[in-house]
Amino acid sequence: MHKGLVVILSGASSVGKGSIREKLLADQDMKLFYSISETTRPQKEGEVDGKDYYFVSYKDFAESVKNKELLEYTEFNGFYYGTPKAQVEFLTDKGKNVLIEVEAQGVGPIKLNIPDALAFFVMPSSFEELEKQVNENYKDNKASIEMRLNKAKMDMELAPLFRNVVYNDDLDKAVAQIKATVMEELEKRGAGKD
């Protein structure tokens, strides 16, 4: 049995990674399973523990870090987020393809653990467009707007480190571009045949 492919989706803050993720997971050709992150942030209304995130205490999160149970982790807005290693290994060992959505700085640690992972960086069509989007999404919170735009600028500086950069000026086009690369990689591995 082939080991599953790990697909990493990253990009500038508020660039629309969530929408791309949903479409990639819905596409049956790639047979992607979503890697659920662990977080210390409070559960929002409508979120399901074990589906949206694994909601954990700061103490439990610190234990995961200490025991090297996370492929990567980061802090944003006072809360921690991380990718559980055991979940990804379990799925890929069973031949399942896994989609991990992470902050740009999380890609390096994952690639150290899984060198053949396929990483994509999603860019906005322009910074002005991203600014408009962030202002729309967080119009009641000036501090959040400022923080997200600063973070997006820092994220975008990492884009040249990625082999696969995708511009999200058209959602379907961005998804199709990612799918073409993933399918090509699966074909190369001979995994697209089953």
| CA torsion, ordered 144, 147, 148, 153, to nearest 10 deg | 160
Task: Quote the number of domains for the chain.
Answer: 1
193 occurs within a structural domain: no
At residue 151, the pLDDT reads 85
pLDDT at 118: 96
What pLDDT digit, counting tens, does each position of 84-95 carry? 999 999 999 999
Question: 192 pLDDT band (50/70/90 cuts)?
Answer: very low
Strand partners, 76: 79
Residues 149-165: what's their mean pLDDT? 87
119 within a domain of the structure (yes/no): yes
Sheet of 118-123: strand order equals: 32-34, 97-101, 6-11, 118-123, 164-167
Q: What CATH number corresponds to the domain at position 49?
A: 3.40.50.300
3-state secondary structure at position 33:
strand
- The secondary structure of residue 104, as a DSSP letter, is G
Tokens of 166: 């995708």
Residue 140 has pLDDT above 80, yes or no: no
Residue 191 pLDDT class (50, 70, 90 cuts): low
Mean pLDDT across 167-174: 93
pTM of this prediction? 0.88
Using DSSP bridges, classify how beta strands 118-123 and 6-11 pair: parallel, antiparallel or unpaired.
Answer: parallel
